[in-house]
Amino acid sequence: MADDAVDFEYLETFAAGDMQVVTEVLALFQGQAEGWMSRLDAPGEGWRDLAHTVKGAARGIGATVLGDVAGRAEFADSSMAGELKQALADALGAIEGYLTRIGGG
């Protein structure tokens, strides 16, 4: 897991310090990510739409590295699925650690 996978300070600032909002947003991201992970196992039709969706969601929570990988993947082919899946796993690991630290996981 990369320590810098998610900029939680960005998310906390965006949520005006409301930690309930932060935990709800992260829970939504985690739920969506489950579906993305399974789609990344066998990417096919809709690859660019998937990468675009991941990019937007990642950038929304401060997962810049994931957003950057997804941004590159959006204009590439599905051979980037492994790299995108790893970046997503790194972000999810960082989220789990963060939620545990703040008592929200």
Tell me the pLDDT tens digit for each residue of 11-46: 999 899 899 999 999 999 999 999 999 999 888 888
Tell me the pLDDT tens digit for each residue of 56-78: 999 999 999 999 999 999 999 88
pLDDT at residue 104 is higher than 80: no
User: Of the CATH numbers 3.40.640.10, 3.30.360.10, 2.40.50.140, 1.20.120.160, which one belongs to the domain with range 8-99?
Assistant: 1.20.120.160
d(CA 14, CA 62) in angstroms, rounded, equals: 10
In the structure, what pLDDT confidence band is assigned to residue 2 with cuts at 50, 70 and 90? Answer: low
Q: What pTM value is reported for the model?
A: 0.91
Quickly count: other Cβ atoms within 10 Å of residue 52's Cβ. Answer: 16
The token duo for 20 is 């309930």
Domain boundaries along the sequence of the chain: 8-99
d(CA 94, CA 29) in angstroms, rounded, equals: 12
Q: Please, are residues 43 and 50 in contact by the beta-carbon 8 Å criterion?
A: yes
Nearest Cα neighbor of 99 from 30, 40, 47, 45 is: 30
Q: What is the structure's pLDDT at 3?
A: 59
